Structure 1
Amino acid sequence: MFNSKTPIQRARRISMAVAAGALLSTTALAGCSVANSEDAAGGSAAPGATASDTLRVVLQQEPPTLEACESNLTSTGVVVRSTITEPLIERNPTTGELEPKLATEWSSEDDTTWTLKLREGVKFHDGSDFTAEDAAATIERAVNSDLGCNVEGYVFGDDDLEVKAVDDTTLEVTAAKADPILPLRLSFLEVVPAETSTTEKVREPIGTGPYQLDDWQAGQSINASAFADYWGEAPAFAKANYQWRSEGSVRAAMITSGEADIATGLSPEDNIGDLGVAYPNNETVALRMHNDKAPFTDIKIRQAVNYAIDKEAIVASLYGGRDKVASQLVPEGVVGHSDSLEAWPYDPEKAKSLVEEAKAAGVDTSAPISLIVRTAQFPKIEELGQVIQEQLSQAGLNVKLKMLETSQHLTYQVRPFPTEDEGAISLMIQHGNQAGDAAFTVDQYMTTKGAQSAFGTPELDKLIEEADASSEADRQAAFEKVFQYQNDNVVQFAHISHQTGMLGIAGTVSYEPNSSSGDELRLAEVTAAE
């Protein structure tokens, strides 16, 4: 547990807007936001700003919260990570190497206890100094508390960490067992002040990043400004303004008309033209099937779902052949991705046959299935949901498509899952492995207690435990076994595609997107075009 040898008494103004109440009002107001780009341009930029000193970003959706410990959620992290808040260690999305951020160096003699030296001269946005006490408290809050942070299940699982502030600039972190990738795990934690509530989630965080949050007009915009006392290089733009529009064509039009500088989640079909910049993505789309209710209690039905989906046609018709058909939850380039693992073939007759076999064995194949899909999560997601619903219906399954807003969808995404739903649940997920190691996928999505796992088996748990503890030389083969076992013996997922991303980037700014741009759009890396 947290132990500081030199406790520091400080008074801070901590924003305590709690997500539980504010989240509901935010999402309710989100439906009232301006729906076209012409209106969007009027009066929503940060007060006192001009087009030349304000970086204008248009997102697919309003963030459900800016809580730092929820920043691994794409809709939150795209605003928060390395812009408003910062981690101790940062992963370079291009090289995969770990780089110093609030920690300047780290080391371990046994892969269990790690010592981190922290950067001096760093201030939080409220003017107070960053010390090891804040780093330790951040870990306690996000990993060891009962706050229920998404990053806990996503990155750290059930194990707590022992943390100790040795002095103001030295932090010791001890894992429950040897963990050779603990520094990589720590890169997912965005640091907040020690005084931040450990019993309530904070909607608007105080961080150390290059931009500080100015105001969040629920349903309309988020405004930020460059932090004058930032420890690093000052960003190119004095102010930043985030808006959100669910229609890709509207976001594209805001770029081409000069009303926005960067637009996320676009495709060429949005008429973005030469201002659309494609980039390698780390996102994988799949269906996660819950086996607590019929008909998903039978593996034959879960296999039938895989055979029923025409992934090649989906990639070709909806995404112009840019995406790749998926056979596993991680794309090429992530440690553990198996080149030899083949995708399920499209075989509608086989799907029908498996449904009939299950029916003959007593499975209620007419039981309702809720296909849960999140609106505006990525381009053409509604069309994708409709296609899958039709293909599963043709296989003989009773599928109802439910399109939900972000906050509603999140209740299905993370344990505890809703139990009052009519029928079995099939959730469309978009999983991005930002870390480059399959541990960050399988620990949360495939173990029996994983935060985003609908079920699992003791055998699969054992394979995952062995892979997690493997050395760098053995990790690839160990995780390949995990993905193979999932496809052969568990079939919790129907994998659809590995995505490619596209940003709209106006000619007035310069930014080179990378594999993490969809999850963390680092505004400090955007400059004015020369």
Structure 2
Amino acid sequence: MREALNMAIDRDAFVGTLLPEGTVPAVAMVPPTTLGWNPDVKEYPYDPDKAKALIAEAKADGVPVDTKLHIIGRSNLFPGVTEVAEAVQQMLQDVGFNVDLQMVEVAQQEELYSKPFKEGRPPQLLLVSHDNSKGDPVFSMFFKYDSKGKQSGISDPKVDEMIAAASAATGDERTQDWQKLFAYLHDDVVPDVLLFHMVSFARVGDKIAFTPTIATNSQLELADIAFK
């Protein structure tokens, strides 16, 4: 069913329409500039027919595929977020998912997104963003995927072991360990419906000496800014 969710979404249709040109379909929680990025991991293809077939297969196995899924989006998360959420909802409905959509404020979403998760909660898809500007995935991977991670929706002993091994490794071994984890999460665990690496924009005045980086989206270090 999680594979069907991924194959139901036409990510390319958003780029240059609801989202700016240069927006990159995501295959990992962290962007391509991050240590251990695995170029062999490819985005799920847009294949609504395959998504429908997977849902039918799950139904034949007794999975209650008509269970309502609740998309919980965050208002003002990025420009056009409501329109993006509505389009995702429609794409999921088109292949047979029973989906509704609710947009909430950040505090409301945080209650749903972080542990302890509420008992008896219905199936939810939280439309969220994650910022990793440090260049190493260690924080992101533990926080999002380790069994003890604050916002981890999975509990997979193999993932825990892979995160621990990569976190302790150095040099080429660390890079390779992260690559293996990215591939395992994407291809085998399928914990997310990954959407996009968003584009950030920065304007620098002619009299200012400053070069924007991936970190500029979340912080500005005054020490990096000077007058020419």
Is TM more than 0.5 here? Answer: yes
Q: Confirm whether residue 445 of structure 1 aligns to residue 144 of structure 2.
A: yes
Aligned to 2:125: 426
Unaligned runs of 5+ in 1: 1-300
Residue pair 2:20, 2:199 contacting (<8 A) in 1 also = no
Q: Confirm whether residue 469 of structure 1 aligns to residue 168 of structure 2.
A: yes
Deviation at 1:474, TM superposition (A): 0.6
Q: Confirm whether residue 362 of structure 1 aligns to residue 62 of structure 2.
A: yes
Aligned to 1:72: none
Residue pair 1:311, 1:496 contacting (<8 A) in 2 also = yes
Deviation at 1:454, TM superposition (A): 0.5
Residue pair 1:337, 1:438 contacting (<8 A) in 2 also = no
CA change 1:378–1:364 in 2 (3 A) is same
Aligned to 1:485: 184
Identical amino acids, percent of aligned pairs? 31
Q: TM-score, normalized by length of structure 2?
A: 0.91
| Count of residue correspondences | 228
Aligned to 1:189: none
Deviation at 1:438, TM superposition (A): 1.7
Deviation at 1:404, TM superposition (A): 0.9
**Does the residue aligned with 2:201 lie in a helix, a strand or coil?**
strand
Aligned to 2:103: 403
Structure 1 vs Structure 2 CA RMSD: 2.1
Q: Confirm whether residue 503 of structure 1 aligns to residue 166 of structure 2.
A: no
Q: Confirm whether residue 349 of structure 1 aligns to residue 49 of structure 2.
A: yes
Q: Residue type of the partner of 1:474?
A: E
Unaligned runs of 5+ in 2: none
Q: For 1:400-440, what per-residue CA distance to the aligned partner results, in whole angstroms no more than 9, with x for missing partners? A: 1111111111112221123454x201111211112211212
CA change 1:509–1:412 in 2 (3 A) is farther
**Whole-angstrom CA distance in 2 between matches of 1:504 and 1:338:** 31
**Whole-angstrom CA distance in 1 between matches of 2:97 and 2:124:** 13
CA change 1:499–1:462 in 2 (3 A) is same
**Does the residue aligned with 1:426 lie in a helix, a strand or coil?**
strand
Q: For 1:144-191, what per-residue CA distance to the aligned partner results, in whole angstroms no more than 9, with x for missing partners? A: xxxxxxxxxxxxxxxxxxxxxxxxxxxxxxxxxxxxxxxxxxxxxxxx
| Aligned mate of 1:324, from 5, 11, 24 | 24
**Whole-angstrom CA distance in 2 between matches of 1:312 and 1:384:** 12
Residue pair 1:338, 1:480 contacting (<8 A) in 2 also = yes
| Aligned mate of 2:153, from 454, 460, 473 | 454
Q: For 1:336-374, what per-residue CA distance to the aligned partner results, in whole angstroms no more than 9, with x for missing partners? A: 110111110000111111111111211111111111111
Which of the pair is proportionally richer in strand? 1
**Does the residue aligned with 1:494 lie in a helix, a strand or coil?**
coil
**Whole-angstrom CA distance in 2 between matches of 1:406 and 1:509:** 34
Aligned to 1:24: none
Q: Which runs of 4+ in 1 moved over 4 A?
A: 504-511, 523-528
Aligned to 1:46: none
**Structure of higher CA gyration radius:** 1
| Aligned mate of 1:391, from 55, 71, 91 | 91
